[in-house]
Amino acid sequence: MAVIKPNAKKTGLRNIVVDIAGLEVSNDPNHVLITYSLGSCLGLTIYDPVARVAGLVHCMLPLSKVDQRKAALKPGMFVDTGVPALLDAAFKLGAVKSRLVLKVAGCGQPMDDKGLFRIGERNYTVLRKLLWKNNLLIQSEHVGGKLSRTVSIAVSTGEVFVRIGGPSGEVIRL
């Protein structure tokens, strides 16, 4: 993973951790946005290669109607409030909708063997509907399955890396 190098301090890169139900945007080329433990949660990265603005949201649940108060306090908790909040924050830093590159990870089913809750699947469905309504397309994704993921995006390049299955797991470029 580009951001988890032992010499990260030498390169001057700084990891900005996006907590569960959190979101971050940055135009600082020394920042790397990173989130951990994406199981059924959705991780969405956005990047404007001209403005060099990157964003990352870590959504737990699909729809905010289950708790409007929490959605107002932490919009990143829900896909239907977190994604618009992420986009708005990126636009304030100069990102332009038509240039955005979107990548998705997570939306798995790590502890739902019987498929009763299907939270990951529902998170992904709400995301797709929201993006479709806003004329935005996903460039690449790594979704589903049982393993957790760590996702990072480098603000300087827009490169997205996914670590699959914990600290010693496989790392892929998304």
109, part of any domain: yes
Band of the pLDDT at 3, cuts 50, 70, 90? very low
For residue 5, the model assigns a pLDDT of 39
Q: Read off the CATH number of the domain in which 168 is found.
A: 3.30.1330.200
Confidence (pTM): 0.91
1, part of any domain: no
Catalytic residue, from 21, 41, 42, 155: name it: 41
Total domains in the fold of the chain: 1
Q: Are 160 and 44 in contact (CB under 8 A)?
A: no
24, part of any domain: yes
67, part of any domain: yes
In this structure, are strands 138-143 and 101-106 parallel, antiparallel, or unpaired? parallel
pLDDT beyond 50 at 94: yes
Q: Active site includes 59? A: no
The range of the structural domain enclosing residue 132 comes to 8-173
Three-state DSSP class for residue 47:
strand
pLDDT, tens digit (0-9, with 9 covering 90-100), for 38-60: 999 999 999 999 999 999 999 99
Band of the pLDDT at 114, cuts 50, 70, 90? low
Q: Which is nearest to 150 in space by CA: 41, 9, 60?
A: 41
